[in-house]
């Protein structure tokens, strides 16, 4: 039971990270109607920036803040230089263009930081484990991830639903021309949204960095699960992304933890050993296929699209 709770918390933690990525992805998808394959690159950049800045300032927190600022700037610059010109084009042009960006960023990182990975070490107080239940110790840092991303999710909700900027973002999503005609600088708005998405992706990258190694290609591996979250949640829906992210995170983690034992009960040793890792990796894709068959627009279809 304790093992289950531990794995469940791991699942929540993975889900929260996926949410950070999916939130930006779904905003960009829903508002600018842009398929952004380079979103994972911003996640990678966030991790690399954090590793470098933390080493430079000798502080994890300071490095993290600088890294978020840096990905925000990179994201906004990227929007102004390139992404902006892809709005209103068909999805294939998006795939071609942002796939090019993905290749570019991987290579750029290899040029700047070299092909070997980096590590981002945590401050000592976050390295310890906390006793959250009698007999259950849980890494403090993973709790920090859950708490901080929850706070970010809440902030994002307030920003989009309760502020004037959020109102403009939502209005821009439903009718770009009308909002522009009312005198809103829609170009600037889009740049801000893209920058926000980039910063969220960078934030996810740097939060994940101490758990995994910082390496080239980390963005490609997380991008597809993030897309799965966006599609399950319903494109453009932040609420949907939140629910779907938790769902995907928990199902993936629990599947990996318990499926091998479960299969052992029904199958031979070798069959289970072959099937379990493949099946547990497939679970989230099965979930997505299932959701799309039952609800083709995702769990929470964005209204008015």
Partner 1 sequence: MSDRRKHWRDSRLSPRVVVNAALLVVLALVPVYAALTGDSFAMTLFARVLIMAIAALSLNLIMGFGGMVSFGHAAYLGIGGYAVGILAKEGIGSGFVQWPVAVAASALYALVVGALSLRTRGVYFIMITLAFAQMVYYVASGLDRYGGDDGLTIYHRSQFGDFGLNNATLFYYLCFGLLLASIYLVWRIVNSRFGLVIRGARLNERRMRAIGFPTFRYKLVCFVIAGAMCGLAGALLANHTNFISPAMMHWTRSGDLIVMAVLGGMHAMFGPLIGAMTFLLLEQGLSHVTGYPDLILGPLLLIVAIYVNGGIDGLMGGARRG
Give residues in contact with partner 1 (CB under 8 A): 29, 35, 37, 82, 85-86, 89, 91-108, 110-111, 220, 224, 227-228, 231, 235, 273-279, 281-282, 285-286, 288-289, 292-293, 296-297
- Given the complex with partner 1, which of 35 and 50 has the nearer CB atom? 35
Q: How near is the Cβ of 278 to partner 1 at its closest, in Å?
A: 3
Spatial contact of 251 and 40, defined as CB atoms under 8 Å apart: no
Phi, psi torsion values for 162, nearest 5 degrees: -120, -5
Q: How near is the Cβ of 35 to partner 1 at its closest, in Å?
A: 7
129 SS3 class: strand
Q: Which residues contact 143 (CB under 8 A, 6 or more apart)?
A: 130, 132
- Given the complex with partner 1, which of 26 and 149 has the nearer CB atom? 26
- Given the complex with partner 1, which of 50 and 86 has the nearer CB atom? 86
Helix and strand numbers (H, E) in the chain are: 12, 2
CA–CA separation, 23 vs 13, rounded Å? 15
Q: How near is the Cβ of 224 to partner 1 at its closest, in Å?
A: 6
CA 106 to chain centre: 18
- Given the complex with partner 1, which of 1 and 294 has the nearer CB atom? 294
How is residue 52 written in tokens? 């470098």
Q: How near is the Cβ of 184 to partner 1 at its closest, in Å?
A: 25
- Given the complex with partner 1, which of 147 and 286 has the nearer CB atom? 286
CA–CA separation, 166 vs 168, rounded Å? 5
Q: How near is the Cβ of 1 to partner 1 at its closest, in Å?
A: 29
């Amino acid at each position: 039971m304790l093992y289950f709770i531990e794995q469940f918390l791991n699942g929540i933690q993975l889900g929260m990270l996926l949410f950070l990525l999916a939130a930006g992805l779904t905003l960009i998808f829903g508002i600018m109607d842009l398929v952004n394959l380079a979103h994972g690159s911003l996640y990678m950049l966030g991790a690399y920036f954090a590793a470098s800045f933390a080493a430079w300032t000798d502080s994890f927190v300071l490095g993290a803040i600088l890294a978020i600022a840096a990905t925000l700037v990179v994201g906004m610059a990227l929007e102004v230089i390139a992404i902006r010109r892809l709005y209103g084009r068909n999805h294939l042009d998006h795939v071609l263009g942002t796939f090019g960006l993905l290749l570019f960023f991987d290579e750029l990182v290899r040029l700047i930081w070299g092909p070997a990975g980096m590590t981002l070490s945590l401050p000592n107080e976050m390295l310890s484990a906390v006793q959250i239940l009698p007999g259950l110790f849980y890494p403090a840092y993973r709790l920090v991830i859950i708490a901080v991303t929850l706070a970010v999710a809440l902030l994002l909700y307030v920003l989009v639903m309760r502020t004037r900027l959020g109102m403009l973002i939502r209005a821009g999503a439903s009718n770009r021309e009308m909002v522009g005609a009312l005198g809103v600088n829609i170009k600037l708005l889009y740049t801000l949204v893209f920058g926000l998405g980039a910063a969220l992706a960078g934030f996810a990258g740097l939060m994940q960095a101490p758990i995994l190694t910082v390496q080239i290609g980390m963005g490609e591996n997380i991008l597809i699960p993030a897309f799965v979250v966006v599609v399950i949640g319903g494109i453009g829906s932040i609420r949907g992304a939140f629910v779907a992210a938790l769902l995907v995170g928990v199902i993936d983690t629990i599947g990996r933890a318990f499926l091998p034992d479960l299969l052992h009960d029904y199958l031979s040793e070798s069959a289970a050993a072959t099937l379990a890792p493949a099946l547990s990796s497939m679970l989230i894709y099965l979930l997505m296929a299932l959701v799309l068959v039952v609800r083709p627009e995702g769990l929470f279809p964005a209204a008015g699209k």
